[in-house]
Amino acid sequence: MGAANNELRVVLVDDHHLFRTGLREMLETDGIVVVGEATDGARAVKLVREMAPDATIVDLKMPNTPGIGAIREIVAEDPDARLLALTVSAREADVIEALAAGALGYLLKDTHPDELVRGVRLVAKGHAVLSGDVARALARSRRDSQAAEVAADDDVALTPRELEVLRLIAEGADNVTIGRELSISKHTVKQYVANLFEKLGVGNRVEAAVYGVRNGLV
């Protein structure tokens, strides 16, 4: 990974030409270089293999090999590949499936341009990204469903500050942003994150975010 002159290099995967064109122009305006475009999952796998981008933005609903299949194949070939699912669906099943397949982030297509660009840059650095809209949609879905599959463990007791940190993680915030939002040091943020991982029994920020939204904690 990495690019000459420290330019961020991405591949776009979406079968809608107008959306792809608009996304490319938006990213390039912000200094992100689009090194390739694909209209289906099969082509995406080959393109990512050839270009080795810093990040790949993938729509989930496409002909031939769907986005989820492409994500699985790309991650199987390169576990360090950094993929961002960008789609119209806020369904819990789609979010969980994309993250389980190996996507580092999940954003909706109506995400504000600034948030989208920030999300792409975070994913390229290896950070998890789950938009606030997606987190809230998942939380609403769980509240509306009396048959939620996963219920919060009775012995998981989070402090108010830990809940605040979890909420920010679910919104895609990194440690610096969390520290700024809560007026605490980066070291303190790291300690809160470590405590959260231990209490929730998760190994990374994506798992923590998914746990939080599925259990109505954020």
CA 153 to chain CA mean position, Å: 25
Rounded-to-integer distance, Cα 178 and Cα 176, Å: 5
Question: Mind listing the pLDDT tens digit for each residue in 118-169?
Answer: 999 989 988 878 877 676 665 555 555 433 344 444 457 889 999 999 988 8
Contact (CB, 8 A) for 155 and 173:
no
pLDDT of residue 183: 94
pLDDT of residue 205: 80
Class of domain 4-127: alpha beta
Contact (CB, 8 A) for 204 and 198:
no
Rounded-to-integer distance, Cα 81 and Cα 45, Å: 11
Where are the domains positioned within the chain? 4-127, 148-214
DSSP code string of 146-209: TT-S----TT----HHHHHHHHHHHTT--HHHHHHHHT--HHHHHHHHHHHHHHHT-SSHHHHH
pLDDT (mean) for 49-78: 92
Question: Mind listing the pLDDT tens digit for each residue in 77-105?
Answer: 998 899 999 999 888 788 888 888 889 88
Please determine whether the domains at 4-127 and 148-214 fall in the same fold group of CATH: no
pLDDT of residue 215: 73
Q: What three-state secondary structure class fits 14? A: coil
Higher model confidence: residue 185 or residue 97?
Answer: 185
pLDDT of residue 153: 47
Higher model confidence: residue 61 or residue 57?
Answer: 57
Reply yes or no on whether the pLDDT at 113 is more than 70.
yes
For the chain, percent of residues with pLDDT exceeding 90: 51
Element (H, E) at 58: strand 55-58
Pick the range with the lowest mean pLDDT from 19-23, 69-73, 76-80, 97-101: 97-101
For the chain, percent of residues with pLDDT exceeding 70: 85
Letter for the amino acid at 183? S
CA 104 vs CA 19, 55, 149: distances in Å: 22, 10, 23
CATH 3.40.50.2300: does it fit domain 148-214? no
Reply yes or no on whether the pLDDT at 1 is more than 60.
no
